[in-house]
Amino acid sequence: MKLFISLLALSITLSADITLPQNFKTDFHQSITNEKGKVINYEGTVLFKNLKESLANIMGEETNYTRSLFKWSYTVPTKKEVCTDGTQLIVVDHDLEQVSNYLIEEGMNLDEILKIANKISSTDYQATYKDIEYLITLDDKAQLQQIVYVDSLDNNVKIIFKNMNYNTTVNETSLECSAPEVYDIIKG
């Protein structure tokens, strides 16, 4: 559950002063520290793509919207893939040989967080949203470098991004989680 809450932090497009490109690829290090001081460290890569799409409403008028896709490929301490489009979250745990599907009902809305964020230094932004305080740090190129917050389970979460590559080519199929058919499927 801790992992899912942390992932939701990035499942929505960033806005205003802090913007993400159409695509990016980066390595990450994520640490989650519980209130007893136990630390779990994760490492891997993240792929991101913004998709601009159109939908026709019942009146025949088209509405444009952007859908953000993320794929987190964990390599340490276990091999796991997590894919989300902001509505659905799919977790493929290769060590457990299972696939879990979840609908995101009340995830963290980073877009809203950033709309209320206050710039506190040349690279840092702070916001309080639904009683949780977030610190977002950009690097000297104004690229996402770090997100720190305390989640709803009182875990300290820190996600550090390394080797950020904005505007890299990311195709939609590379953002899909896939698993062998023999894996168990769990609906959440």
The per-residue pLDDT for 14 is: 43
Residue 59 forms part of a structural domain: no
The percentage of residues in the chain with a pLDDT greater than 70, rounded to a whole number, is 74
Across the chain, mean pLDDT equals 81
Determine the structural domain holding residue 113 and report its residue range: 2-54+65-178
In this predicted model, what pLDDT tens digit does every residue of 12-56 receive, in sequence order?
Answer: 434 446 666 778 899 999 999 999 999 999 999 999 887 766 555
In the predicted model, what is the mean pLDDT of residues 140-167? 90
Whether 5 shows a pLDDT value over 50: the answer reads no
Residue 183 forms part of a structural domain: no
Residue 86 forms part of a structural domain: yes
**CATH number of 163's domain:** 2.50.20.10
The strands making up 80-84's β-sheet, listed across from edge to edge, are: 118-119, 124-129, 132-138, 144-150, 156-166, 23-33, 39-56, 62-76, 80-84, 88-93, 98-103, 184-187
Q: How many domains does the chain have?
A: 1
Residue 187 forms part of a structural domain: no
In this predicted model, what pLDDT tens digit does every residue of 131-140 receive, in sequence order?
Answer: 889 898 989 8
Count H helices, E strands: the chain? Answer: 2, 12
What's the CA gap between 158 and 132, in Å, rounded? Answer: 14
pTM for this prediction? 0.78
Residue 80 forms part of a structural domain: yes
In this predicted model, what pLDDT tens digit does every residue of 151-161 receive, in sequence order?
Answer: 888 999 999 99
Q: Tell which wins on pLDDT, 130 or 11.
A: 130
Residue 138 forms part of a structural domain: yes
Residue 60 forms part of a structural domain: no
Residue 174 forms part of a structural domain: yes
